[in-house]
Structure 1
Amino acid sequence: MTADERPSPPTELDRVGHEALDELATREPAALRAASEYLEKLAAWKAGGTEGGGEPSPADGEPAAYPDGVPERASVSVTEIAGTEYYYFQWREGDEIRSETVRR
């Protein structure tokens, strides 16, 4: 590749991935190198190569399985109470908002 040729983006990206690359293309080389280093670490982490030997959490922060009665469309947050972490599930059924808290 010569200095005049811009690299082609990967074809396996979706629309959002291409938009992210378009935004990154406007950045300075140092910022691109920092983003590249971060993305390499993120890819390794998502592939299961976390530092410290721990298991990675699901990418979206949600639990691997939902408790009985909690729909998979429920929003999930993690909260800590007295040093113990809990999943807090919240979803809508008709006009009502339902929730459930489960120890992590």
Structure 2
Amino acid sequence: MSYSPTPPRELDDGLVERLADQSPVLLRHTARYAEELAEYREREARLSERDDDENHEERPDDLPDDVPSKATITVKEINDNRYYWQWREGDKIRSKYKGPVNSNE
């Protein structure tokens, strides 16, 4: 008897069938993309909520001059660096390296 994982009920049957036909390499690429897409959408939602909030906090002391006050801190690996200011400019998400990750923050 061989083991086959049970897909989450929330997944569309057509998507489950298409995934079942893919190679392990393509499934890993798909999983990586799905994780990055989820992070992107969560970040977009946070930035959108912050844009909608009329009571923006004062500019943090450690915020660089070229980073808008609406920027948020995001732990994301880009070019082997983790810990970024991120903000929205039109349809794009901008990032600026802040420094190494501090587990206390």
* TM surpasses 0.5: no
Of structures 1 and 2, the larger Rg is shown by 1
Please state which structure has a larger fraction of its residues in helix: 2
Q: What range describes the TM-score normalised by the shorter chain of this pair?
A: 0.3 to 0.5
TM-score by length of 2: 0.41
TM-score by length of 1: 0.41
